[in-house]
Structure 1
Amino acid sequence: MFVLGIFFVLVTTTTACWTRTGLSPWRLSRFKYLVTFGDSYTDESRLEYFIKHGGVGPPPGTILAESALIRPWARYVAQYADSLSLHNYAVAGAVCSNEITPRHFTTIASDFPSVLEYEIPAWLAEHSLSPSGNGRRSHDLGTNTVFAILIGTNDLGNAAFLTDSQVSGRLLHHYTECVYRAFDAIYAAGGRNFVLMNTVPLHLAPQYAADGTPATRYYPDKPSNLTQVAARIQRDTASVNEIFRYKTPYELLIGQRYPGSDFALFDTWRMFTDIYTNPHLYLNGTEELTVDDWSHHCSVAGTDCVHRHNNTSPDSFMWWDELHPSEQVHRVLAGEIVNVLDGSSEYATYWSSR
Structure 2
Amino acid sequence: MLSSMIAFLILISAPILTQAQTCPARGLSPWALSRFHRLITFGDSYTDESRLQYMIDHNGTPPSPGTFLPESTLLRNWARHVAVDTGLDLRNYAVSGAVCSNLITPRPFPVIRDDFPSVLEYEVPAYLAERDVKHDKSDQPIYEPPFDSTTTVFALMVGTNDLGNIAFLTDSQVAGKVLRDYTQCLFDVLDRLYASGARHFLLFNTMPLHLAPQYANDTLHGRPATRYWPDKPSNLTATAIKMLQQTTSANEILRYQTPYEVLVARRYPGAHVALFDLFELISDIHADPAQYLDRAILTKASDYEHHCDVTGEVRAYEYDHAYPDSFMWWDELHPSGRVHEIIAREVAQVLEGQFRYASYWSGGD
Q: Would the TM-score normalized by the shorter structure come out above 0.5?
A: yes
What is the aligned partner in structure 2 of residue 152 from structure 1? 159
Report the number of matched residues: 350
1:90 aligns with 2:94: yes
1:74 aligns with 2:79: yes
What is the aligned partner in structure 2 of residue 139 from structure 1? 147
SS of residue in 2 equivalent to 1:75: helix
SS of residue in 2 equivalent to 1:86: strand
What is the aligned partner in structure 1 of residue 189 from structure 2? 182
- The residue type paired with residue 18 of structure 2 is W
Which deviations, in whole Å up to 9, do the C-alpha atoms of 1:37-79 show, x marking residues without a partner?
0000000000000000110111101110001001100000001
1:6 paired residue among 5, 8, 15: 8
1:240 paired residue among 232, 240, 250: 250
In structure 1, what is the Cα distance between the partners aligned to 2:143 and 2:295?
41
Asked if structure 2 preserves the Cα contact closer than 8 Å seen for 1:285 and 1:314, the reply is no
2:268 paired residue among 258, 265, 286: 258
What is the aligned partner in structure 1 of residue 66 from structure 2? 61
Q: CA deviation at 1:19?
A: 5.6
SS of residue in 2 equivalent to 1:169: coil
Distance change >3 Å, CA 254–CA 315, structure 1 → 2: same
In structure 2, what is the Cα distance between the partners aligned to 1:115 and 1:224?
32
Asked if structure 2 preserves the Cα contact closer than 8 Å seen for 1:46 and 1:89, the reply is yes
Q: CA deviation at 1:327?
A: 0.2
In structure 2, what is the Cα distance between the partners aligned to 1:111 and 1:95?
10
TM-score, normalised to structure 2, is 0.91
2:49 paired residue among 44, 51, 56: 44
Distance change >3 Å, CA 248–CA 30, structure 1 → 2: same
Distance change >3 Å, CA 11–CA 171, structure 1 → 2: closer
TM-score, normalised to structure 1, is 0.94
Q: CA deviation at 1:134?
A: 3.7
What is the aligned partner in structure 1 of residue 285 from structure 2? 275
What is the aligned partner in structure 1 of residue 18 from structure 2? 18
1:207 paired residue among 214, 235, 238: 214
SS of residue in 1 equivalent to 2:73: coil
1:117 aligns with 2:125: no
Asked if structure 2 preserves the Cα contact closer than 8 Å seen for 1:42 and 1:72, the reply is yes
In structure 2, what is the Cα distance between the partners aligned to 1:242 and 1:269?
11
SS of residue in 2 equivalent to 1:44: coil
More displaced 10-residue stretch of structure 1: 25-34 or 287-296: 287-296
Asked if structure 2 preserves the Cα contact closer than 8 Å seen for 1:208 and 1:226, the reply is yes
Which deviations, in whole Å up to 9, do the C-alpha atoms of 1:114-142 show, x marking residues without a partner?
0000000000001255999545643111x
What is the aligned partner in structure 1 of residue 323 from structure 2? 313
More displaced 10-residue stretch of structure 1: 328-337 or 205-214: 205-214
In structure 2, what is the Cα distance between the partners aligned to 1:322 and 1:287?
19
SS of residue in 2 equivalent to 1:138: coil
In structure 2, what is the Cα distance between the partners aligned to 1:66 and 1:189?
26
What is the aligned partner in structure 2 of residue 295 from structure 1? 305
Asked if structure 1 preserves the Cα contact closer than 8 Å seen for 2:215 and 2:236, the reply is yes
RCO comparison, higher one (Cα < 8 Å, 6+): 1
What is the aligned partner in structure 1 of residue 39 from structure 2? 34
Distance change >3 Å, CA 116–CA 335, structure 1 → 2: same
Instruction: Note the residue ranges of structure 1 that are not aligned, 5 or more in a row.
Output: none
- The residue type paired with residue 115 of structure 1 is V
Instruction: Note the residue ranges of structure 2 that are not aligned, 5 or more in a row.
Output: 24-28
Matches within 5 A, 1:191-230: 191-211=198-218, 212-230=222-240
Q: CA deviation at 1:302?
A: 1.0
- The residue type paired with residue 64 of structure 1 is L
